[in-house]
Structure 1
Amino acid sequence: MRRLLINAVLWAVFSSCIGCTVAAQVNDAMITEDELEAHVAFLTSSKTKGRYPGTAGNRRVVKYIRAEYENYGLKSFDGDFLQKFQAKLRTSGDEASGKEVKTWNVVGYVEGNNNYLKGEYVVIGAHYDHLGHGGPSSKKPGSKEVHPGADDNASGVAALMEIAEKVARNRYMLDRSVIFVAFGAEEQGLLGSKYFVDHLPVDKDKVKLMINMDMVGRLNAEKQIYMGGAGTFPRGVELMRDLGVEMGLNPVVHAGEVGGSDHVSFYRAGISAVGLHTGGHDEYHRPEDTLDLLNISGERTIAEYIYKVLLRVVNKNYELTFINQD
């Protein structure tokens, strides 16, 4: 009887420990407002000084994202998360005629589990650079103030990292593989995404879809999430609309009208691409685009929404083919 009692106690303790481990794993996989806000706070801090390509602040951000990828357990291509390229800086409007500087895309992936489909990839990305102290793209001409770019696009990078962490913790749910890219030099003319598409780490025909997040931090009272390019892959409009409604969002979905951010580089190369944002605002490309104006709770909902979209399209039962919208 005494032995049975001891065994019962040990089993209760063991079961409790299992429960604690499962709970810890669940908590590790959560997308949280605290972590989103912490990421944005770092990306917009005085030490990063607007994340302008070729600056110490830009390099600081690259190191931060690389460290996060490593912490999540993402894999790298060719043993390095960094894809180096040269960016020619704009000197006026749309003219890229300034000096060339070294910058990077930060690239990692989570491998799928299906023996056949793990060789296919869905890319999810967001650009991490911004305007530094202003320059030709600033909406406050002549300003020398730091442009922190909280919404544009610290919000997208924060969501990217939180989604990457959750996908990595739940990698057993993937059939296809997922590539995570933080693009450099988007504000200089989509340079990072153009370079990535021209130097893909996998065969181009194996890249089935690109999902881009650029300015996802200002969800409004109507909970509108805008997107273009949903018609570039099968059932994309229905998927983006229906999952958005399930999450309590109000999706404004366009089949074509791909947009003007990094996903355009993929679409021009014949790869399905959809870009998401929460709309424009008066602080766009101005020093006033700050953390305190973000809707962090709304961004968490959007990140969870994109995570659900991602799980759906990496599933073996979801066909992914390119549909031209031109």
Structure 2
Amino acid sequence: MYAGAHAQDTIPNAGRIQEIVNYLASDKLKGRGTAEKGGMKASRYVARQFKKLGLQTVNGSSYYQDFTFDKNAHKNIPSRNVLGYLDNGAARTIIIAAHYDHLGTAGLFDGKYPIGQIHNGADDNASGVAGLLELARHYVKNKNKEPFNFLFIAFGGEELGLQGSKYYTANPLMPLDKVHFMLNMDMIGRYNRERGIGIGGFGSAEEWPAVFKDVQQPGIKYFTDAAGKGASDHHNFYMHGVPVMFFHTGGHDDYHKPTDDAPKLQAVSEAGILQLGIQLIDKAMTFPVLHYVGEKS
């Protein structure tokens, strides 16, 4: 393969993003519900992609971290995280993550959503999984060996109370104090030019202002929010002393409705958001350690 083609392969690609979301948010997967067949199919799909990209397993020979949890009257609900590891022989590791589950046919939500209807969850969070896979591709295929390892995680059970990240942070497969930072992508597929993309966690590391300084991406506007806490999986890492970044393009009328479908995805803008993410990740790697900042009392 000539150098230009190889370089092109590492750049986030709108066509690939759309293809991933088309599959994950198809009726075939019935909304990727936790403890539903479609959710298991989605986990296997992510594991296959990790394997194709050449990521290693970190849980023995498995890409999975299985767990169960209770939610209201529902007991021992099965779910799993999917993990792929890029070992660069470094002392510290960057975690890049997104949750793959959605509401499915809403059976576990005690009537909060229309039961039996497929909630495809294209933006929430097939968009984030597409981002996860594109960033994995970028760092696997990048010819430069990075000074950090990468752990890519697709979390299960997020919609039922951040269950996958709660389980992982209680049962980490590598020490949390060796995590440089955690980047979480949840709903990054509906870019609104007026709003821009929100990036949370800006107050979670002393070095974030220096990392963000002068970072720009053509066609992508962004703003920062200090909070490390939040209603997505970065929250559990922040509560365990890990600096975080959280990418989110904002709410919309299709949120948690059966109408959150793949054709509404802004794939070109998502590719730009991921290029912005690569700039921030690369700049964060110029600091050997990021110093965690907890909540101000």
Q: Answer whether TM exceeds 0.5 for this pair.
A: yes
Kindly report which structure 2 residues correspond to 1:20-59, keeping only aligned pairs within 5 A, or say none: 20-59=1-40
Q: Where does the alignment leave 5 or more consecutive residues of structure 2 unmatched? A: none
Considering only CA atoms, is the larger Rg found in Structure 1 or Structure 2?
1
1:298 to 1:186, Cα distance in 2 relative to 1, 3 A: same
Q: 1:215 to 1:49 in 2, by over 3 A?
A: same
Match of 1:98 in 2: 74
Distance 2:85 2:218 in 1: 26
User: 1:192: which partner in 2?
Assistant: 164
Cα deviation for residue 119 of structure 1 reads: 1.7
Deviation at 1:241, TM superposition (A): 6.1
**In structure 2, distance between residues paired with 1:309 and 1:24:** 24
Aligned CA distance change for structure 1 residues 322 and 139 (closer, same or farther; 3 Å) = farther
CA distance, structure 2, for counterparts of residue 51 and residue 256 of structure 1: 29
Q: Tell me the residue number matched to 2:140.
A: 168
Q: Report the counterpart of residue 87 of structure 2 in structure 1.
A: 111
Distance 1:138 1:131, change over 3 A: farther
TM-score, normalising length from structure 2? 0.93
Conserved 8 A contact 1:119-1:206: yes
Amino acid at match of 1:102: P
1:324 aligned onto 2:288: no
Supply the AA of the counterpart residue of 1:66. Answer: A
Q: Counting helix residues as a fraction of each chain, which structure ranks higher?
A: 1
- Once residues 190 and 40 of structure 2 are traced to their aligned partners in structure 1, the CA distance between those partners, rounded to angstroms, is 26
Question: Offset of 1:143 from its aligned partner?
Answer: 4.5
Provide the rounded CA distance (Å) in 2 between the counterparts of 1:135 and 1:226: 31
Q: Which residue of 1 aligns with 2:128?
A: 156
- RMSD of Structure 2 on Structure 1 (CA): 2.0
Which deviates more, 61-70 or 134-143? Answer: 134-143
Instruction: Quote the offset at 1:238 in angstroms.
Output: 4.6
How far did 1:142 drift?
3.5
Runs of 4+ in 1 over 3 A off after TM superposition: 135-143
Partner in structure 2 of residue 312 of structure 1: 283
TM-score by length of 1: 0.85
Which amino acid is 2:67 matched to?
A: F
Tell me, yes or no, if structure 1 residue 249 matches structure 2 residue 220: yes
In 2, the alpha carbon distance for the partners of 1:54 and 1:136 equals 9
Q: What is the alpha-carbon distance in structure 1 between the residues aligned to residue 207 and residue 178 of structure 2?
A: 19
Residue by residue, what CA displacement relative to the aligned partner does 1:245-299 show, whole Å, maximum 9, x if unpaired? 3444222201225321000000111111121100001110000111111111111
1:132, CA displacement in angstroms? 0.7
Determine if contact 1:108/1:180 at 8 Å carries over to the other structure: yes
**C-alpha distance in 2 between matches for 1:144 and 1:242:** 48
Deviations 1:181-200 (A, max 9, x none): 00000001000001111111
Change (3 A) 1:325 1:238: farther
Partner of 1:80: 62
CA contact (8 A) 2:104 2:120 kept: yes
Q: How many residues align?
A: 295
Structure 1 gaps of 5+ residues are 1-19, 91-95
Worse-superposed segment, 212-221 or 306-315 = 306-315
Q: Deviations over 1:30-53 (max 9, x none)?
A: 311111001001101122111111
Deviations 1:125-144 (A, max 9, x none): 00000001135759974353
Q: Are the equivalent residues in 2 in contact too, given 1:139–1:285 (CA < 8 A)?
A: no
Rounded Cα–Cα distance in structure 2 between residues aligned with 1:60 and 1:272: 31
Match of 1:154, SS state, is helix
Cα shift at 1:235:
2.6
